[in-house]
Amino acid sequence: MPINITTKAALNIYNLVWFLAIPALRLNQRLAEGFRQRTLQHNILSKADLWIQAASAGESYLAWTLLKKLKPNKPVRVIVTSNTSQGLEILERAIADITPNERGVSACSAYFPFDKPTIMEAAVKTIRPRVMVLLESEMWPGLLAALKKNQCITLLLNGRITAKSLSRYLIWPSFWRMIGPDKILGISESDAKRFAAIFAGENVDVMPNMKFDNIDKSDYVLDTNNPVGNIIRPGTPFLVLGSTRQEEEPLVEKIILNIRHRRPETVIGLFPRHMHRIKHWKEALDRIAIPWILRSQIENQIYGGTLILWDTFGELFSAYKLSKGAFVGGSLAPLGGQNFLEVLTCGVIPVIGPSWENFAWVGREIVEQGLVHVAADWKEVADLLVESLEKSLPLEKVRESALTYVKDRQGGTAQSCRLVEELLNDSMFK
């Protein structure tokens, strides 16, 4: 369907907004890196059969999985782009992982261009993709219009959209229908229904979340040589407060005080999400009269009743594996939560606060099956952690249940690859 005059007028206004905004964007520290690539002043884009756009780190890992599993009938050139330096770094590691590739997949990476329609049209004309894959929620008007104009098949895979985002799209749904993707696969019935409210229902379907495919069975095996085991005595009542965030620190203080009062022999491992908060915690623990020691200062096994303030990197996963219970932060304040699946892979049922929207893709069933405990407030977090000290399930039983939960929800990558392969093969015969 050709783009109508109203849509063209809107895109012209959108182009003007970008024209005025781009000079200021150069001052943004995050966008300044790769700025010449983003504006195509330094155009490193090259022709590719498949273009995969991964907004940031999370989507870049999904792109990595796609690249590893893709099995086209003919050699395929792929370009993968990201908006962030972290995402681009992951994509570069992914390309190194698949090259040389016996499946005939060759790939290169670049920063995602700014969505100014004239820039995007130049980008699409340079790349000339047969198939475009957008991951999760990457619907940029300039890109979509350029792809539509150049008759590229566009897929939105692992799609997710919130009710808040939906309300913005529904301000002008006909605009989005005019330039929208040819096929959308949402990660849940709810996401699919929201996409269908914007686009034609026949173009929208449901798929398993690809993120489940990135959880490997080997993740569920305990380390035989755990470095934290050198400092935690066998049988010690050990709790972990992991990835705590600044906004919830006053509540975490209350959790620590509550546990210390009820179970003074407990060893608590406190892992701030950001290392610069260590200074704050030193002062806070002194203020509430909790004795503490820095992880970096421990040379021998510690005694019960110690709070360890973890000031070293890379040991959170190891600590989870030796804990009797664990709280995962970013969830007591409205921050969306941190990755609680890591705790499950260690055979420990995680405790989280009420805010876990960032991981809603895991499914409410994980709570209903008792594999995650969601607390209403800090007091319930403390109650659940103390309870875990008194009656925790066997590690192997928890790991087995977690693995079954994940396995039943895998397959999204295979489904996505089949669809991309079919479309690439069809386009190559045209």
Lowest-confidence region among 214-223, 225-234, 366-375: 214-223
d(C-alpha 253, C-alpha 378), whole Å: 9
Q: Is residue 213 part of a domain?
A: no
* Tally of structural domains, the chain: 2
Q: Is residue 397 part of a domain?
A: yes
**Residues 6 or more apart in contact with residue 156 via CB below 8 angstroms:** 134, 135, 137, 138, 139, 181, 183, 184, 185, 195
Q: Label residue 221 by pLDDT band (50, 70, 90).
A: low
How many CB atoms are closer than 10 A to CB 307?
A: 21
d(C-alpha 394, C-alpha 412), whole Å: 30
Average pLDDT of the segment spanning 42-66: 95
Residue 222 above 70 pLDDT? no
Average pLDDT of the segment spanning 166-185: 95
Residue 429 above 70 pLDDT? no
Let me know whether 165 and 288 are in one domain.
Answer: no
Q: Is residue 55 part of a domain?
A: yes
d(C-alpha 210, C-alpha 58), whole Å: 11
pLDDT at 218: 54
Residue 230 above 70 pLDDT? yes
Question: If you search the block for the tokens 């489940």, which residue do you land on?
Answer: 212
d(C-alpha 396, C-alpha 383), whole Å: 24
Let me know whether 42 and 111 are in one domain.
Answer: yes
User: What share of the chain has pLDDT > 90, as a percent?
Assistant: 80
Let me know whether 185 and 223 are in one domain.
Answer: no
pLDDT tens-digit series, residues 322-375 = 999 999 999 999 999 998 998 998 899 999 999 999 888 899 999 999 999 999
Q: How many CA atoms lie within 13 A of 291 on its CB side?
A: 9
pLDDT tens-digit series, residues 266-323 = 999 999 999 999 999 999 999 999 999 999 999 899 989 999 999 998 899 899 999 9
Q: Label residue 219 by pLDDT band (50, 70, 90).
A: low
Lowest-confidence region among 55-64, 209-218, 250-259: 209-218
Question: Residue 237's domain spans which residues?
Answer: 218-407
pLDDT at 415: 97
Q: Is residue 34 part of a domain?
A: yes
Q: Label residue 416 by pLDDT band (50, 70, 90).
A: very high
CATH classification at residue 154: 3.40.50.11720
Rounded to whole angstroms, the maximal C-alpha distance in the chain is 74
- Give the Å distances, CA to CA, from 321 to 45, 311, 316, 393, 395: 44, 18, 9, 13, 9
Query: Smallest Cα–Cα separation from 203: which of 224, 215, 186?
Result: 186
Let me know whether 243 and 327 are in one domain.
Answer: yes
Q: Is residue 242 part of a domain?
A: yes
Class of residue 9 by CB neighbours under 10 A (exposed 0-12, middle 13-18, buried 19+) = exposed
d(C-alpha 290, C-alpha 292), whole Å: 6
Most confident of 78-82, 337-341, 399-403: 78-82
Let me know whether 143 and 247 are in one domain.
Answer: no
Residue 87 above 90 pLDDT? yes
Q: Is residue 241 part of a domain?
A: yes
d(C-alpha 329, C-alpha 337), whole Å: 6
Let me know whether 181 and 292 are in one domain.
Answer: no
pLDDT tens-digit series, residues 129-142 = 999 999 998 899 99
Let me know whether 273 and 296 are in one domain.
Answer: yes
Average pLDDT of the segment spanning 208-223: 73
CATH classification at residue 272: 3.40.50.2000
Average pLDDT of the chain to the nearest whole number: 93
pTM above 0.85, yes or no: no
